[in-house]
């Protein structure tokens, strides 16, 4: 009798994880063992290092430095020879909602802390792909460590497996650790606006003004009553 094989229909599920094979050969029935089909998924883990370990990754293991900060911080100070691919870019949209948000931002956060009004860079992953293969060794850096972590997650999802970030960002780097380009030290590149002129006084004043603005905006009736209680000159 010719050999033949069949599959038990009840074992064929939509997941296709297992099936039972039954075959006949020369009049004998051979029952196969149930086995599990497994798919191997390789998931990379981001390597978080301090700035001293980061320097070794560059010098010894050949990691390329990718700076994901916005343009203003990058121009103030960056590691010499790094690549600049910002995770956030300046938001120049002109719809009404964006205009209002940009105006509020520029009069407070922008004025006191020198923070630009930005939005997520929709071309970030594609920009990386145009310069680096998925097997490339990349050290992502930002000022505080938050943007580089977010960027690492995006690249991990895109298939990059050799990613490292500096814990706490460039603000933790001591002077002289890296060769740099710019008008200030890496750890100070995030400082701008009035806080750099008047220090802590401006920071406190800016916080007070922001709180006052929000209070007047969301609680106008209470704010008006408080103004009525204020002594007149």
CB half-sphere exposure, 70, CA atoms < 13 A: 13
The secondary structure of residue 89, as a DSSP letter, is E
Q: How many CB atoms lie within 10 A of CB 73?
A: 24
The CA distance from 131 to 127, in Å, is 7
Choosing from 7, 142, 165, 211, the catalytic residue is 142
C-alpha distances in Å from residue 163, one per residue of 59, 63, 149, 184: 16, 9, 10, 27
Q: How many CB atoms lie within 10 A of CB 202?
A: 17
Sign of the torsion angle spanned by Cα atoms 195, 198, 200, 203:
negative
Radius of gyration over every alpha carbon of the chain, rounded to an integer in angstroms: 29
Please name the residues in contact with 205: beta carbons below 8 A apart, sequence gap of 6 or more.
112, 198
Q: Which two tokens stand for residue 72?
A: 């203003």
Q: How far apart are CA 216 and CA 202, in angstroms?
A: 21
7 part of the active site: no
- Known catalytic residues are 142
């Amino acid at each position: 009798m010719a050999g033949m094989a069949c599959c038990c229909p009840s074992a064929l599920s939509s997941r296709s994880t297992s099936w039972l094979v039954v075959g006949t050969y020369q009049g004998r029935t051979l029952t196969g063992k149930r086995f599990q089909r497994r798919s191997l998924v390789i998931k990379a883990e981001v390597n978080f290092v301090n700035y001293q370990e980061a320097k070794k990754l560059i010098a010894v293991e050949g990691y390329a430095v990718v700076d994901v900060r916005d343009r203003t911080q990058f121009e103030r100070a960056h590691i010499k020879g790094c690549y600049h691919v910002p995770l956030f870019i300046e938001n120049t949209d002109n719809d009404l909602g964006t205009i209002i948000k940009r105006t509020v931002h520029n009069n407070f956060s922008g004025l006191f802390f020198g923070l630009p009004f930005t939005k997520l860079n929709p071309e970030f992953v594609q920009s990386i792909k145009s310069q680096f293969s998925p097997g490339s060794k990349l050290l992502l850096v930002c000022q505080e460590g938050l943007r580089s972590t977010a960027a690492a997650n995006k690249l991990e999802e895109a298939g990059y497996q050799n990613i490292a970030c500096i814990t706490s960002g460039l603000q933790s780097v001591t002077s002289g650790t890296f060769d740099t380009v710019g008008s200030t030290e890496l750890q100070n590149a995030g400082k701008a606006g009035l806080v750099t002129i008047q220090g802590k006084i401006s920071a406190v004043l800016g916080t007070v003004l922001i709180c006052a603005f929000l209070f007047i905006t969301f609680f106008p009736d209470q704010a008006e009553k408080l103004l009525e209680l204020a002594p007149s000159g």
